[in-house]
Structure 1
Amino acid sequence: MRRPPLVSMRLHGAGHHGRIVAATVEAAAADLGLTTPQAAQLATAAGAVARAVHLRGFADPADAALHVTVGRHGHRVVVHVDDTGLPFDWRDAEDLDGAVLQRAVTDGWVDEIHHRWRGRDGNRTVLARHLDPGRDLRLDPPATTSEPPEPADQPSIADLDDVADTRLATPDDADGICRLTWRTYEATYQHDEYYQPDRLAAMLADGTQVSFVTPTTDGEIIGHSAILVTEPDAVVVEAGRAMVDPRYRGHHLMSRPSELRKTWFAEHGILALAGAAVTAHTRSQRDAPVCSVLLGFLPPIEFAGIDGTASTVREAVVGGFIPMAPIPPQEVVLPERDAEVVRGIYADVHLDRTERPPADPASGTLSQLDVSVRADLGHAVVTAHAIGVDLPDELARRVDAIRAADIAVTYLDLPMDDPAVSWAADRAAEAGWIFAGVLPLEHHGVDVVRYQHLGDLAVDPDAIHLRADQARALLAYVLAQRGATP
C-alpha cells in the first residue's frame, strides 16, 4: 500500500517559487529520513526545477502554477513537480538551472530524474533520492551456507525433499532474499537494494515490488523472482530479478512460481509480463521469443559459480513479452527501414497487428519528449509522445546532455501509432541510433519501437550468450547496424 505524500502544496503567480520549494523539500525530506546533506541536495535540485518552470514554462510568470508533493515510496524520498506550462528541457545548457540538475545526476544528489510531458495535464518532473540503505551485505557478507545436495540424474525439483512451496514474499523475507543475492552474485549484482534488507523490505511493504520466493523447509530462501510495479493501473508489468541458489541450480526452481504469478496477474488485471534477461549466461532466459536486444543496459556483473560470466564491458540484456491474457488487436505504423524484423517479432510473439501507412510530420509540428535517467544503472530512456520536425535537434540536445552527465547509454522509444515513426527512425539512424526492438503496449497500451545510442561504448559480441536461434538472429541484426554506425 503506497503512502500518501507528507507534503502537497500549490504555488500560483509570481514569487520566489524556487526558494519556497527548496525550503519545503529540505524540511520534508529530512523528516522522511534523509540526512541533512542529502535533504539539502535534493532540495537544491527541486528548487532548480521550480525556477525553470516558473520562468520558462509560462509566457508571463504571473500565470505560473505548480503542484509539488514530497513523499516516501519504498525506500526513496520522491518529489513530484507538476505544472501546466509549456514543455521545457531542464537539460538544455541554455535553460535556467540546467547545470544544477546535470550536476545533481553527476554528483549523486539524486538517484533518479524523470521528466514527462502529459499533454493537457502539463509537465511532471520526478526527483528521487534513496534513503540510507541500512545494513549492506557487501560490507558484511553472510556466513557460508551448507553444502549443496547431490545433483539429480534427471534434474527435477521433485528430487529435493527439503524444498517448500513457492509463496508471495513479505517484508520479513527481505533479509533472506539479500542473502540469496550474495550467494548468487557475491558483490556484483547491479541492483543495490538486493544487498540492503531495510530498503528491499520497504519496497515489498508498499507494493512497488512483488516477490515470489521458494524456501527450504527450514525457511532459507533459495529461489526468487519479482514483479516491478511502476504504475498502480499498469497492464504490463516488468518481471525479473530471478535468481537461484547455486547449490540448487539444475532443479527447475524458476518454473515453480508460474501458477502463482498467473493468479496474481488475473487478480490485478495484468495483460502481459515484460522483462529483461541478462546475456552473461542463458539460465535466466526463457524459451519464449525475445522482442529486443539492449546493448550496454547494465553495468558489468559476474555470477558466482558460473564460469565465463566475468566481463569488463557493460551487460547486454534481451527483452521479452509474455501475454498473460488476450492481447487486443492494434493498428501500427512500422519503421520502413526495420519493417521486416518488426514483422518477424510480431509473428514470433503472436500479436495481431494491422499496418497503417507512414507519413512525414506536418510542417511546424513540435516534438514532445520525456527523459528518464537511471543513474544507478547508467542508462537513460527518451520517450517521444509526439514526433515533430524538430526531432533531430531535440534528440541531439538530449543525448549531449545525457552523455555530459556520464550516462553510458540512451534508448529512444517511438510510439507506433504516430504516422511519423518511420521518418523519425530514419532521422535517428542518420544520427547514429541503431535498432533495439519492439516493446508491446509500452506507451499507455500502445506499442513502441526502441532504438539505442551507444556512442563509443565497447560491445563484446563474444560476451553475449543467447539461448534461442530467434534471439541470435535479432542480435546479429542489431550488431550489423552497430558495425554500420558512423
Structure 2
Amino acid sequence: MDDTISPEITTLALEDIPHLIECVRRCYGDSYPNPIMYDAAKLTDAIVTKKIHSIVAKLGNNQIIGHCALTFNGSENASPEAGKMMVDPNYRGHHIAELIAKKRIEIAQSLGLPGFWTECVTNHPYSQHEMIAFNAKETGLFIGDVPTTIAMQGLQNFSDTRMSLLAFYLPLKDRPHNIYVPSQHTEHLNALLTSVNLQRTISNVSTPGIGKTKLRTEIDSKDQVANISVDYIGADLIASVKTELQKLESLNIASVYLDLPITQNAAAHAYIELEGLGFFWGSWIPHFSTKGDILRLQKIYQTVNVNEIICAREQGEEVKKFVISEWERVSKK
C-alpha cells in the first residue's frame, strides 16, 4: 500500500456505482444493514432523484476507497442524515474519513441546509471523534438500534447484545421557532440548545390534539426496527399508535421509533401520553422537517447491555445518562 496516496474527493458518478458496491463489500462483506448499498439500480435512482448525495474518495484506477452521504427522508426532510460512512480497510489511517466528511459539509452548505444529523456507533469512539472535530454536538442516544449481525472489517465488533448509536447534530444555520415539550424535559433541552447554539422558545403548555392523527410507519425487517412518523397530532393519537404497535409486535420487532413534531402545540401533551405506551426520549433532531424540530422517541422490546456503550467525551456521557434514566423511569410506569 502506497503511504502517499492522494485520492480524488468528489461526488459519486453513476458509472462509479459498481466500484462503490465493491468498496461496501470490502468494508462489510454482506453484513451492511442498508441493502440499497448493494443495489446498483436503487442507488442510481437515489442519486438521480437527489434523495442521496454521495461523496467518495477515488483512486486513479477508479477504485473507491471511502464513502459517505447525506440522505433525505422525503421532501419534507430539511436536515438530512449524514451517514453511510465507510473506508476501505486497506486505506485506513490516511484521513480518508476526515476528507470526505469535510466535502460533505461543503455539499450541505451548497444546498443551503440548516444542518444535518448523524448516528455514531458506540462500540468504539472513532466516528464520534470525527464528528466532534467538525463541531457536531451530541443530541441523543438510540439504545439497541443495531443487530449483532453487522461486521466491520478490521475493527472491534459487537458482542451478543444489540449496539446503540449516539446521535449528533451539526448546525449550519438556524431558523428559530417555538417548540412544545413537557416541563420535566425543559432543563435537558435547554442544555442541548446551549451546546448546539440554536435559538428556541420552549413552551410547556399541555394542549390535547384535535381532529384526526396523520402518521406513517416504515419497517426495516432486517434490523428489526420500525419508525412511526407523526405528521399531525390528533385527538386519536394514542389509539392510532396502539394500532400500529399491535401490527409491529407480531413481527418480532426489537425497537420502535416515533417521530414527534414538537412544533405542534399538542406535542407536550402527546409526549406524556406516549410515555404510557412505553415510549421515551431518544434524540432531539433540530430542523428535521421543513416545519421545524422533532423528538425521536423510542420503545425497546429486547434487553441491551448499556455498559458496552462507549462515549468519546463527557457531553456524550451526559446524554447517555439522561436517555438511560428516562428508559428506566418510563419502564417503571
State if a TM-score over 0.5 links the two structures.
yes
| Residue of structure 2 in register with 1:480 after alignment | 325
Pair 1:244 & 2:92 matched: no
| 8 Å Cα contact 1:434-1:482 kept in structure 2 | yes
Q: How does 1:4-83 map to 2 (within 5 A)?
A: none
- The aligned counterpart of 1:328 is 175
Q: How big is each residue's C-alpha offset from its partner over 1:169-220, in whole Å with a ceiling of 9 and x where there is no partner?
A: 1122222222222222223211123234454344334433221111233332
1:203 and 1:419 mapped to 2: Cα distance?
34
CA shift in 2, pair 1:390/1:235, >3 Å: closer
CA distance in 2, matches of 1:338, 1:396: 24
Pairing of 1:83-122 with structure 2 (within 5 A): none
Number of residue equivalences: 325
How far apart are residue 402 of structure 1 and its match?
Answer: 1.3
User: CA contact under 8 A between 1:290 and 1:321: conserved in structure 2?
Assistant: yes
The answer to whether residue 303 in structure 2 is matched with residue 458 in structure 1 is yes
Shift of the 483–258 alpha-carbon distance from structure 1 to 2, 3 Å rule, reads closer
* Counterpart Cα distance in 1 of 2:308 and 2:204: 39
The code of the aligned residue for 1:378 comes to: Q
- Is the alpha carbon distance of 1:478 and 1:472 closer, same or farther for their aligned partners in structure 2, counting shifts above 3 Å? same
- Tell me, what secondary structure is at the counterpart of 1:222? strand
TM-score (norm 2): 0.88
Counterpart of 1:182 in structure 2 is: 25
Matched, 1:353 2:200: yes
Structure 1 residues without counterparts, runs of 5 or longer: 1-147, 150-159
Give 1:168's aligned residue: 11
Shift of 1:447: 0.8
The equivalent position to 1:341 in structure 2, one of 188, 194, 217, is: 188
Per chain length, whose mean CA-contact separation is higher, i.e. which structure has more relative contact order (CA < 8 Å, sep 6+)? 2
Query: Contact 2:114 / 2:175 at 8 angstroms: preserved in 1?
Result: no
1:317-466 to structure 2, matched below 5 A, reads: 317-324=165-172, 326-361=173-208, 365-455=211-301, 457-466=302-311
Distance 1:271 1:327 in 2: 6
The Cα shift of 1:259 comes to: 4.9
Distance 1:242 1:483, change over 3 A: same
Q: Deviations for 1:93-125, whole angstroms, at most 9, x for unmatched residues?
A: xxxxxxxxxxxxxxxxxxxxxxxxxxxxxxxxx
Using structure 1 for the length normalisation, give the TM-score. Answer: 0.62
Kindly indicate whether the alpha-carbon contact (under 8 Å) linking 2:140 and 2:282 is maintained by their aligned counterparts in 1.
yes
Bigger Rg, which one? 1
How many angstroms apart in 1 are the aligned matches of 2:215 and 2:42?
31
Partner of 1:313 in structure 2? 161
Cα displacement (A) at 1:353: 0.7
> 2:71 aligned with 1:228, yes or no?
yes
Relative to structure 1, is the Cα distance of residues 199 and 447 closer, same or farther in structure 2, using a 3 angstrom cutoff? closer
Compute the RMSD of aligned alpha carbons. Answer: 2.4
Shift of 1:165: 2.3
Secondary structure in structure 1 of the residue aligned to 2:191: helix
Letter in 2 for 1:360: T
Work out the CA distance in 2 between the residues paired with 1:197 and 1:281. Answer: 30
Matched residue SS, 1:438:
strand
SS in 2 for 1:317: strand
Asked if 2 retains the 8 angstrom alpha-carbon contact of 1:358 and 1:421, the reply is no
Q: Structure 1 318/340 Cα, relative in aligned 2: closer, same or farther at 3 Å?
A: same
Distance 1:388 1:206 in 2: 32
Structure 2: stretches of 5+ with no match in the other structure: none
Aligned residue among 197, 200, 219 for 2:62:
219
Deviates more, 1:387-396 or 1:181-190: 387-396
